[in-house]
Homo-oligomer: A and B are copies of this chain.
Amino acid sequence: MAKMRSRGTGLPTLAEVAAKAGVSPITASRALRAVPSVDPDLVERVRKAAKLLGYVPNPAARTLASARSRSVMVLIPALTNQLFIEMFEMIEQVLSARGFEALMGHYHYDQAEEERLIRNYLAYQPCGILVTGFGQSEVSARLLADCGLPRIHMMELAETADVASVGFSQEAAGAAVARHLIERGRRHFAFFGAQLDRRLLQRRDGFQRALVEAGFPPALEIMTPEPSSIALGAAQFSALRQTDPGIDAIFFCNDDLAFGASFEALRQGVRVPETIAFVGFNDLPGADQILPRLTSVRTPRAEIGRCAALRLLALIEGEKPADTRLDLGFELIVRDSS
C-alpha cells in the first residue's frame, strides 16, 4: 500500500478513492468524470468514497495526462474598472457551474503585458479563451490564433465573421449620445477621453460622426492616455471652463470622469444641466445617486460575460457556432444631467 500514500497537501489520491470503493483507479476516474460506460452502482460507490475522503482531483496530473485543463483563459484590461469586474464575475459563475475554472489575467491596458500573459497562460493548457476586445498586438493575435483554442472576444463586435464576438456597437452608443444631446438643444460639444483604448476611440468616432451628420462641427476632444479617474474628470472639466466656457454638452468616455466633473461643477457653481449637459458611459454604481443624477449609457457587461462564457462552453463541447456575432445592445439612461 506504500504506493497509495496521500499527497503532500493531505488530500487523498484517486487510487485511495478507488481502493475505498473497491474498484480500479481507472474506473474511479471514469466514474468521477461521468464517462457514460460505467455501471451506475459503481459510479454511486465511487462518488460516495470520494465524498467521504474529501477527494479533490489533482489538476496538475489531470492536465498533464489529458493535455487539456478545465480552465478558461480570461483576459481583462484592468481590475480597477468595475465594468470588467462585473463581466468577470458572471463569467466565473457560468464556468464554475459547469465545472470549469477561470484563469483570469489583467494587463493594465498594456499590449506587451497582455502578450506575456497569453504566453504564460497558454502553458496552463486552457481549454478556451475569453478576451476583451480586438486591440491585441500582432504577436498576441497570432498566439491566440495559432493555439487553435475556442475563443470569444468580448465587449466589441468583430468586423469579420471568422471570429466570435459578444458585445455591442461602441460606435452606435457614441452616436446615440450625440443624437440625445442634439435633441436636448445642445450646440457646443466636447468629448472627454482617458486611457484611450480602442473601444473608447470607437465611441468617440460614433459620437463625432453623428454630430457631423447632423450638421454640427466635430466636438472638442479632451483626451489623455492616463487612466480614467474621478480626480482627472474634475481637473479636465476645470481646465475646460477656463479655455472653452462656451461648451454646453460633454460626453465622458467613462462615468468616473463624469463624477469628477460633476463635483467640480458643484464646487464652481456651474449649473448642470442648465449651463452644460453631462452624459457618462457605463452607468456605474453611483450614477443614479450623484448630483445631478447622471445620464449615462448602460452597458450590458454582465450579460456579455454570461453569453460569452456560455458560447465558449458550447464551442469547447464541439458545437458549431450559430452566429459568430452577438450584439447585446446598450441603453441610454436619461437622468437629470442632460
Q: What residues of chain A have their CB less than 8 Å away from a CB belonging to chain B?
A: 7-11, 54, 56-61, 63-64, 67-69, 79-80, 82, 85, 88-89, 101, 104, 119-120, 122-125, 146-148, 229-231, 234, 256, 259-260, 263-264, 266-267, 285-286, 288-291
The 6 closest A-B pairs by CB, nearest first: A60-B63, A56-B123, A230-B286, A60-B64, A60-B60, A263-B289
Question: Which B residues touch A122, using CB under 8 A?
Answer: 9-11, 56
Question: Which B residues touch A11, using CB under 8 A?
Answer: 122-123
**Which single member of B57, B64, B89, B256 contacts A79 (CB below 8 Å)?**
B89
Closest to A149 in B: B9
Question: Which B residues touch A61, using CB under 8 A?
Answer: 60, 64
Which of A11, A104, A286 has most B Cβ within 10 Å?
A286
Contact B69 A79 (CB under 8 A): no
**Which single member of B7, B67, B231, B291 contacts A8 (CB below 8 Å)?**
B67
| CA A286 to CA B230, docked complex, whole Å | 6
Question: Which B residues touch A256, using CB under 8 A?
Answer: 285-286
**Which single member of B79, B230, B234, B263 contacts A85 (CB below 8 Å)?**
B79
Question: Given that A60-B125, A231-B288 are known contacts, is A68 also in contact with B263, CB under 8 Å in the complex?
Answer: no
Question: Which B residues touch A124, using CB under 8 A?
Answer: 59-60
Question: Which B residues touch A58, using CB under 8 A?
Answer: 64, 123, 125
Contact A59 B60 (CB under 8 A): yes
Contact B125 A231 (CB under 8 A): no
| CA A11 to CA B230, docked complex, whole Å | 43
Q: Give the distance to chain B from A236, nearest Cβ to Cβ, in Å.
A: 12
Q: Give the distance to chain B from A332, nearest Cβ to Cβ, in Å.
A: 20
Closest to A104 in B: B104
